[in-house]
């Protein structure tokens, strides 16, 4: 297990769609372990392979010490509720910067586990937000794109000022 360097916004790789995983082997399991260790060190509650420059459809989510670690390979949203919610979001690629994002309250999604076995699951509340956030990243949609132009521009200016220090 290795803590990997995390790409920083505005690295172009954070805006590229990730490729599906086709090989389920020890190298995949090792990459997922690295993602978990990297996320914990960041710290964060979710990370994708894209955050470390690996453009593969892998996300790891760990909401709290008493929650299970969720590894989603090739995740896709199947459906989303009409009801919406707001949560504060950020990114391990933009540490210390957050903003409120509105997303569907509940989702149904499919993914594969580390052996390639397919699953379908439902999520609501904060978990639904995290799954949507990470799938967005896998689709090349950095979370800032979910903000209004005004909020996004303001946050980017603050980030650029912070990053230049």
Q: Kind and range of the H or E element at 38? A: helix 26-41
Contacts of 21 (CB under 8 A, 6+ apart): 28, 56, 57, 58, 73, 74, 112
What is the C-alpha separation between 16 and 138, in angstroms, rounded? 8
CATH number of the 12-163 domain: 3.90.45.10
The secondary structure element, H or E, covering residue 95 is: none
Q: Which residues are catalytic?
A: 134
Q: What is the dihedral of CA 156, 157, 162, 165, to 10 degrees?
A: 130
Q: What is the pLDDT of residues 29-66, one digit of tens each?
A: 999 999 999 999 999 999 999 999 999 999 999 999 99
Give the mean model confidence (pLDDT) for residues 94-118.
Answer: 97
Task: List, for residues 4-23, the tens digit of each pLDDT value.
Answer: 999 999 999 999 999 999 99
- Does position 138 have pLDDT exceeding 90, yes or no? yes
Chain mean pLDDT for the chain: 97
For residue 1, pLDDT over 80 is answered with no
Contact 53, 132 (CB under 8 A): no
- Cα 151-107-79 angle, rounded to 5 deg: 105
For residue 3, name the pLDDT band (cuts at 50, 70, 90).
very high
Predicted confidence at residue 165, as pLDDT, reads: 72
Band (pLDDT 50/70/90 cuts) for residue 69 is: very high
Domain ranges of the chain: 12-163
- Predicted confidence at residue 164, as pLDDT, reads 83
DSSP SS3 for 45: coil
């Amino acid at each position: 297990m290795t803590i990997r360097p995390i790409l920083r916004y505005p690295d172009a790789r954070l805006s590229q769609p990730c490729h599906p995983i086709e090989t389920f082997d020890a190298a995949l399991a090792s990459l997922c372990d690295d993602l978990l260790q990297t996320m914990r060190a960041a710290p964060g509650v979710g990370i994708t392979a894209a955050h470390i420059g690996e453009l593969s459809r892998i996300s790891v989510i760990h909401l709290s010490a008493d929650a299970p670690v969720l590894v989603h390979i090739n995740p896709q949203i199947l459906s989303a509720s009409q009801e919406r919610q707001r949560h504060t979001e950020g990114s391990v690629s933009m540490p210390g910067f957050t903003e409120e994002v509105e997303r569907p309250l509940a989702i149904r999604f499919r993914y594969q586990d580390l052996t390639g076995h397919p699953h379908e699951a439902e999520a609501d509340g904060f978990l639904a937000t995290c799954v949507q956030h990470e799938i967005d990243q896998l689709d090349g949609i950095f979370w800032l794109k979910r903000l209004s132009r005004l909020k996004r521009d303001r946050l980017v200016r603050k980030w650029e000022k912070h990053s230049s220090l």
